[in-house]
């Protein structure tokens, strides 16, 4: 296994700059997730690492050795495609043995490695079948198996679970995490599903418009999003973002009929933002229904979505729409007017697209 | 991929070599020679630049203009007939029924037969003493028997029959491809909207396969303009030049008379005729 | 009805080939032949039918092999490598196949005579290869384009070189396409008449279509022998069509290219 380092990686297709000055590292044995919305350049980044695409600038190294000049077959990376890309004319066994054959390993060694991978993935019974005779989940396993037998320096996964149905996806997710623990493999894993990212990733890189928005552990990204985009993209349901302005004289944020005391959240530094535009973010679970005194605003309950375990309450506050997530047992009725508040420590403040605090 | 341009060039090179030597160079040579006077089998006599002379000769040669007329008649009669018949055949073999695969294969047979075989076959059928053609028309009355291939009034018609027989399958295939691309849901939607069989054909099938039909027209026209094999075997351009189509005329000029310059001028003319038709169809296709 | 129209004229010719000499010219025509093999015997012994057949097999066979081999390389490059002039190449091929093939016969004759390749197998095959390449490349490209590129990329990552990926993954998967293109090229080369007519003037080297077209006898045609030779020339094709009807239709409509 190995350490991956990417420095100032840039990729343009014609005039379209898909990746701009990307830099990050994946430590030896680390499970790193690349998270981002569709079209943000995730696949492109992975293909650059694999050598399937040529970089327009920057460098990539594995274990301190530059690999960006090497063709894919010399990079010793394994790639699990979104579509699996199994060889349709070969049996499952042959699919997994193919790369080992190319490296002229002895037949015994090949058999042993393939059997071991098959056992790990529980596809021993399917070894003689052809890919088109397998279910989606089994194909996915074969694709992973084909990568495992290689014992490559790094595993690259491109949304490997996106073609599976929801329950299979959840169980494969757990299996992948288990697999990683057993193999201690270096993994770069793409997904646009933030739940998948949060559960799998030891490190998460949030990519958007070809730039790294934030890089960190899942809890850091959830608790301290670096900008409004990350705030909204990570976490479900989405964070409420409120655009407004800070008072000239006091640490009070105003937006429409809403008034929030930020003296605690901003403490001493508030003067720097006096009179300036701010964005306040608050997650639906952090919105509380208040008593009389400390309320930020009044809001009318428009729609209640009951999910059993808890409820999503859609609120209207003047022009603004807000979403609150409340325990199922809390009584609230449609049309009711309630008072809103929240803990200052749970507020996310952004100024000009950047986190302040 | 890195260096894809260079790798591509490597992969393309062998094909390119063949196409260059035996297609591209000859095409340019054809254009060039049409401005020269040269005897094919006597190259040591040299080439002489004659400018537009070969073309002027074509214009003033009554045989050439008659040949152009013959070719145009041939095209305007056979091509619409083939496409129309092809459409009918395609509609039939597009319907699901038992033995459809076999019928499709059978329909393909005339297309697959070598054209010289087809020519000899039709020559036999049009035979003036014991051909099936005469027997079907006149039965035992052998004194009425015609010699279609020796009759200036009939020879071209006989060749047209052979051509239609041989190439209708091709038109049918092209149209079949178009028919197969029409999604079934469209017909179902039309049925739900209350369309009958004829209306479905008029309002859905025809508009949807219009590109395929035009394409069949285009390919058949280009091909009919250069009809040669049938004429060579069945009539040798005769009788009385009545089937002397352009391509055959050019062949005689080049290889019988050895006047390769004049022959090339005919080739260029045929090429531009084909191009003209192609552009015309492309305009209609939009 | 349609089937009858397309098949009967030819069946008539096939029946003719096994009739006796008297039956051919009989009026009313006799449908039941005497099942004589005389015409085949004389076509072989007096007219060298087997020689023509062998020439046809050699010429059409080598044309097919060469066209498909180098056409596959070209089609692969055109569909798989990203380079700026790929489209222009395909357009050029289309334009070339639009050009009346007969029109280039004169210059081709000149080139072959320079090379000393008139009346040789390599001469006629070379001409045929260049005539079939546009068709072969066009059909093969449509097949290659349908193969998911990712499978090949997977092979590259598994450690294949470009050529290995082509040999071990692409070609096995493209086999149906290769086969289809091969059938069409073969039929085309087997049937071609004009180039064979002018390039192969030595009757020892002529192919079946030329032999059939130039059957000797101005006034009394040896119809029986012609029919016999025609049947021999056509039988392989009819078998191919009956067996591979689906592939042929698919290949012909792929890109709607003329075969
Ligand atoms: N070969 C290419 N040529 C031109 N543009 C490309 C090419 N490949 C990708 N792009 C562009 O690059 C951008 C990023 O594509 P990419 O496939 O990396 O996105 P992604 O993040 O993987 O999206 P998804 O989640 O939908 O897979 C897209 O806007 C796409 O149009
Ligand atoms: Mg992607």
What percentage of chain C exceeds 70 in pLDDT?
88
pLDDT of residue A1: 65
Token pair belonging to C125:
């095959």
For residue C16, count other CB atoms closer than 10 A to its CB: 22
Q: Which residue of A has its CA nearest to C155?
A: A99
pLDDT tens string C61-86: 999 999 999 999 888 888 877 777 77
Measure CB to CB from residue A73 to each of C150, C161, C172 and give the nearest one.
C161
Kindly indicate whether the ipTM for this predicted assembly is greater than 0.90, answering yes or no: no
C146 or C39, which is more confident: C146
Token pair belonging to A272:
């720097």
For residue C228, count other CB atoms closer than 10 A to its CB: 26
The DSSP code for B259 is B
Is residue A53 within 8 A of residue C82, CB to CB? The reply is no
| Minimum CA distance residue for ligand 1 atom 18 | A41
Cα separation, C166 vs C182, in Å, equals 18
Contact check, Cβ <8 Å, A79/C157: yes
Judged against a pLDDT cut of 80, whether residue C40 lies above it is answered with no
pLDDT tens string C129-155: 998 998 888 888 888 888 888 898 999
Measure CB to CB from residue A99 to each of C150, C159, C173 and give the nearest one.
C159
Q: Strands A31-35 and A203-208: what pairing?
A: parallel
pLDDT of residue B45: 73
Report how far ligand 1's centroid is from the alpha carbon of A41 (Å). Answer: 5
- Average model confidence (pLDDT) for chain A? 90
Judged against a pLDDT cut of 60, whether residue C257 lies above it is answered with no
- Give the mean model confidence (pLDDT) for residues B199-216: 86
Which residues, other chains included, contact A1 with Cβ-Cβ below 8 Å and sequence gap of 6+?
A28, A29, A153, A154, A184, A185, A186
pLDDT of residue C256: 53
B194 or A202, which is more confident: A202
| Minimum CA distance residue for ligand 1 atom 28 | A39
The DSSP code for C30 is P
Q: A54: which chain B residues are within 8 Å (Cβ-Cβ)?
A: 1-2
- Give the mean model confidence (pLDDT) for residues A263-289: 86
Work out the angle at residue A77's Cα, subtended by the Cα atoms of residues A73 and A83, and round it to the nearest 5 degrees. Answer: 95
pLDDT of residue C59: 94
Q: B6: which chain A residues are within 8 Å (Cβ-Cβ)?
A: none
Domains of chain B: 53-285 (1.10.3720.10)
pLDDT of residue C27: 66
Judged against a pLDDT cut of 60, whether residue A101 lies above it is answered with yes
Q: Which residue of C has its CA nearest to B225?
A: C100
Cα separation, B262 vs B253, in Å, equals 6
pLDDT of residue C259: 32
Q: Mutation test of the interface with chain B: which of A11, A48, A54, A75, choosing the one with the most B Cβ atoms within 10 A?
A: A54
- Give the mean model confidence (pLDDT) for residues A236-264: 88
Asked if residue A209 has a cis previous peptide bond (ω within 30° of 0), the answer is no
pLDDT of residue C258: 36
b/e code C168-207 from CB counts within 10 Å (16+ = b): bbbeebbeebbebbbbbbbbbbbbbbbbbbbbbeeeebbb
Give the start-to-end residue ranges of the domains of chain C.
51-214+230-254
B94 or B142, which is more confident: B94
Q: Which residue of A has its CA nearest to B4?
A: A54
Asked if residue A237 has a cis previous peptide bond (ω within 30° of 0), the answer is yes
Ligand 1 atom nearest to CA at A190: 22
Judged against a pLDDT cut of 80, whether residue A117 lies above it is answered with yes
Judged against a pLDDT cut of 80, whether residue A118 lies above it is answered with yes
pLDDT of residue A42: 93
Of A206-210, B89-93, B149-153, C93-97, which gets the smallest average pLDDT?
C93-97
Give the N- to C-terminal CA distance of chain A in Å, as an integer. Answer: 39
Asked if residue C28 has a cis previous peptide bond (ω within 30° of 0), the answer is yes
- Ranges of beta strands (E only) in A209-309 are 211-216, 240-246, 252-255, 258-261, 277-282, 287-289, 297-306
CA torsion C247→C251→C252→C256, rounded to 10°? 150
Q: Strands A258-261 and A337-342: what pairing?
A: unpaired
In DSSP terms, which residues pair with A277 in a beta bridge? A245
Report how far ligand 2's centroid is from the alpha carbon of A159 (Å). Answer: 7
Ligand 1 atom nearest to CA at A192: 25
Classify residue B81 as exposed, middle or buried by CB count within 10 Å of its CB (0-12, 13-18, 19+): middle
Q: Predicted confidence band at A7 (pLDDT cuts at 50, 70, 90)?
A: very high
Q: Predicted confidence band at A137 (pLDDT cuts at 50, 70, 90)?
A: confident
Report how far ligand 2's centroid is from the alpha carbon of A41 (Å). Answer: 7
pLDDT of residue A325: 93
| Secondary structure of residue A350 in the 3-state scheme | strand
Nearest ligand, CA A52: 1
Element containing residue B56 per DSSP (H, E): helix B53-60
- Average model confidence (pLDDT) for chain C? 82
Q: Predicted confidence band at A154 (pLDDT cuts at 50, 70, 90)?
A: very high
B136 close to C (CB below 8 A): no
The DSSP code for C169 is I
Is residue C211 within 8 A of residue C52, CB to CB? The reply is yes
Query: Spelled out in words, what is the top-level CATH class assigned to the domain C51-214+230-254?
Result: mainly alpha
Judged against a pLDDT cut of 80, whether residue A121 lies above it is answered with yes
Judged against a pLDDT cut of 90, whether residue B97 lies above it is answered with no
- Give the mean model confidence (pLDDT) for residues A295-306: 90
b/e code B150-167 from CB counts within 10 Å (16+ = b): ebeebbbebbbbbbbbbb
Judged against a pLDDT cut of 90, whether residue B142 lies above it is answered with no
pLDDT tens string C210-248: 988 887 755 667 888 888 888 888 888 888 888 888 888
Report how far ligand 2's centroid is from the alpha carbon of A162 (Å). Answer: 10
Classify residue A314 as exposed, middle or buried by CB count within 10 Å of its CB (0-12, 13-18, 19+): middle
| Secondary structure of residue C91 in the 3-state scheme | helix
Judged against a pLDDT cut of 80, whether residue C26 lies above it is answered with no
Cα separation, C146 vs C144, in Å, equals 5
Q: Strands A320-327 and A310-317: what pairing?
A: antiparallel
Which residues, other chains included, contact A13 with Cβ-Cβ below 8 Å and sequence gap of 6+?
none
Measure CB to CB from residue B5 to each of C83, C187, C242 and give the nearest one.
C83
Query: What's the gap in Å between the CA of C167 and the closest CA on chain A?
Result: 13
Measure CB to CB from residue C238 to each of B15, B16, B112 and give the nearest one.
B112
Residues 47 through 106 of chain B touching chain C, CB cutoff 8 Å: 89, 92-93, 101-106
Residues of C within an 8 Å Cβ radius of A: 148, 150-151, 153-161, 164, 168-169, 172-173
């Amino acid at each position: 296994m190995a350490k991956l380092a990417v420095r100032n990686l840039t990729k343009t297709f014609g005039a379209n700059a898909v990746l701009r000055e990307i830099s990050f590292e994946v430590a030896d044995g680390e499970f790193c997730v690349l998270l981002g919305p569709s079209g943000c350049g995730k696949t492109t980044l992975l293909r650059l690492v694999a050598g399937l695409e040529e970089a327009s600038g920057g460098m990539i190294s594995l274990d301190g050795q530059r690999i960006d000049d090497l063709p894919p077959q010399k990079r010793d990376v394994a790639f699990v495609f979104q579509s699996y890309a199994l060889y349709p004319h070969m049996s499952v066994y042959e699919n997994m043995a193919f790369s080992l054959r190319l490296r002229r390993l002895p037949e015994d060694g090949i058999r042993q490695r393939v059997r071991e991978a098959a056992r790990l993935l529980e596809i021993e019974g399917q070894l003689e079948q052809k890919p088109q005779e397998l279910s989606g989940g089994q194909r996915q396993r074969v694709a992973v198996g084909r990568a495992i037998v290689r014992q490559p320096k790094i595993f690259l996964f491109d949304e490997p679970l996106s073609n599976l149905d929801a329950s299979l996806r959840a169980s494969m997710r757990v299996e992948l995490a288990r697999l990683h623990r057993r193999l201690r493999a270096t993994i770069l894993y793409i997904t646009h599903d933030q739940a998948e990212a949060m559960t799998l990733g030891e490190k998460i890189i949030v990519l958007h418009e070809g730039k790294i928005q934030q890089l960190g552990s899942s809890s850091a990204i959830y608790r301290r999003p670096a900008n409004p985009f990350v705030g909204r993209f990570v976490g479900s349901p989405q964070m409420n973002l409120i655009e407004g302005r800070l008072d000239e004289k006091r640490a009070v944020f105003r937006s429409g009929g809403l008034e929030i005391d930020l003296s605690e959240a901003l403490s001493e530094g508030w003067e720097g933002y006096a009179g300036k535009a701010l964005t306040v973010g608050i997650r639906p679970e952090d919105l509380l229904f208040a008593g009389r005194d400390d309320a930020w605003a009044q809001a009318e309950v428009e729609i209640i979505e009951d999910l059993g375990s808890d409820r999503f309450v859609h609120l209207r506050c003047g022009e603004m729409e807000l979403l609150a997530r409340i325990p199922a047992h809390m009584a609230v009725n449609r049309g009711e007017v309630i008072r809103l508040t929240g803990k200052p420590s749970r507020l996310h403040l952004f100024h000009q697209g950047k986190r302040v605090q | 991929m890195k260096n894809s341009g260079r790798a591509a060039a490597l992969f393309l090179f062998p094909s390119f070599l063949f196409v260059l030597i035996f297609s591209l160079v000859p095409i340019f040579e054809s254009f060039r020679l049409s401005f020269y006077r040269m005897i094919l089998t006597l190259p040591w006599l040299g080439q002489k630049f004659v400018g537009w002379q070969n073309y002027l000769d074509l214009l003033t040669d009554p045989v050439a203009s008659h040949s152009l007329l013959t070719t145009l008649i041939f095209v305007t009669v056979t091509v619409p007939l083939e496409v129309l018949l092809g459409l009918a055949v395609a509609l039939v073999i597009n319907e699901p029924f038992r033995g459809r695969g076999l019928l499709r294969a059978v329909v393909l047979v005339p297309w697959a037969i070598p054209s010289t075989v087809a020519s000899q076959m039709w020559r036999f059928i049009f035979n003036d003493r014991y051909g099936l053609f005469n027997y079907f028309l006149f039965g035992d009355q052998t004194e009425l028997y015609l010699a279609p291939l020796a009759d200036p009034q009939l020879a071209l018609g006989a060749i047209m029959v052979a051509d239609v027989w041989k190439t209708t399958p091709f038109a049918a295939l092209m149209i079949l491809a178009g028919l197969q691309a029409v999604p079934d849901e469209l017909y179902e939607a039309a049925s739900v909207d209350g369309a009958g069989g004829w209306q479905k054909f008029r309002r859905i099938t025809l508009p949807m396969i219009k590109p395929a039909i035009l394409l069949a027209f285009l390919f058949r026209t280009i091909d009919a303009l250069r009809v040669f094999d049938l004429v060579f075997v069945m009539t040798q351009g005769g009788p009385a030049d009545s089937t002397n189509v352009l391509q055959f005329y050019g062949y005689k000029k080049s290889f019988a008379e050895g006047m390769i310059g004049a022959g090339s001028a005919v080739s260029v003319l045929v090429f531009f005729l084909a191009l003209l038709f192609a552009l015309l169809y492309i305009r209609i296709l939009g | 009805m349609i089937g009858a129209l397309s098949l009967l004229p030819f069946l008539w010719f096939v029946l003719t080939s096994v009739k006796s000499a008297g039956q051919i010219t009989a009026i009313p025509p006799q449908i039941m032949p005497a099942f004589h093999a005389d015409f085949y015997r004389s076509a072989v012994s007096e007219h060298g039918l087997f020689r023509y057949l062998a020439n046809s097999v050699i010429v059409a066979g080598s044309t097919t092999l060469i066209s498909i081999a180098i056409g596959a390389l070209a089609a692969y490059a055109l569909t798989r490598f990203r380079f700026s002039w790929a489209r222009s190449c395909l357009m050029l091929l289309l334009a070339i196949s639009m050009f009346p093939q007969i029109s280039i016969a004169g210059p081709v004759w000149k080139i072959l005579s320079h090379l000393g390749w008139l009346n040789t197998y390599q001469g006629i095959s070379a001409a045929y290869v260049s005539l079939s390449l546009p068709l072969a490349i066009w059909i093969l490209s449509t097949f290659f384009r349908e193969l998911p590129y990712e499978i090949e990329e997977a092979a590259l990552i598994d450690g294949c070189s470009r050529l290995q990926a082509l040999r071990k993954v692409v070609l096995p998967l493209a086999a149906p396409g290769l086969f289809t293109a091969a059938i069409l090229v073969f039929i085309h080369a087997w049937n071609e008449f004009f180039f064979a007519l002018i390039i192969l003037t030595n009757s020892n080297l002529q192919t079946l279509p030329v032999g059939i077209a130039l059957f000797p006898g101005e006034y009394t045609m040896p119809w029986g022998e012609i029919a016999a030779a025609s049947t021999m020339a056509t039988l392989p094709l009819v078998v191919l069509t009956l067996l591979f009807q689906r592939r042929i239709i698919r290949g012909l409509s792929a890109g709607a290219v003329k075969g």
